[in-house]
Structure 1
Amino acid sequence: MKDIAVDLISFELGELDDSETLELFAYLVETGMAWNLQGAYGRAAQRLIDLGLISEAGEVTPEVLAA
């Protein structure tokens, strides 16, 4: 994560690949920002958690990293 504002804008513009998106949302969950930003971020973060792609602690799951 270089700059969270740049990363959020890049996400909004569809410029992040899957790995970068997971890293961004893992960071947002880890810091609690996912729950304080616009509702779409919290919903997306919760969806990634529910799918098992990131943990509730804000880590990309090992299975995803191995794929």
Structure 2
Amino acid sequence: MGRMKDIAIDIMSYEADELEIDEIVDLFATLIRSGMAWTLQGSYGRTAQTLIDEGIVSPGGDVLVELIPA
């Protein structure tokens, strides 16, 4: 249950606009790896797909580009 709690906290932080860009990418990589990106509300799946299409995250959930926080 520990990791699910961490993901829930990360999602709440994302929704509150409290994450840096690299943290957002890591969150979505985790959501893609776990399959959760496709079961949450539609904006999560669309964002995940955009990150995949842009070559930032692989379809398997690996981060492909190192992003530096602003």
Instruction: Specify if TM > 0.5.
Output: yes
Q: What is aligned with 1:28? A: 31
- Higher relative contact order at CA 8 Å, sep ≥6: structure 1 or structure 2? 2
TM-score, structure 2 length as denominator? 0.86
Poorly superposed stretches of 4+, deviation over 6 Å: none
Task: Please give the root-mean-square deviation of Cα atoms over the aligned residues, in Å.
Answer: 1.7
Task: Give unpaired runs (5+ residues) of structure 2.
Answer: none
Task: Give unpaired runs (5+ residues) of structure 1.
Answer: none
Q: Secondary structure at the match of 2:57?
A: coil
Percent identical across equivalent pairs? 52
Q: Secondary structure at the match of 2:18?
A: coil
TM-score, structure 1 length as denominator? 0.89
How many residues are paired up? Answer: 65
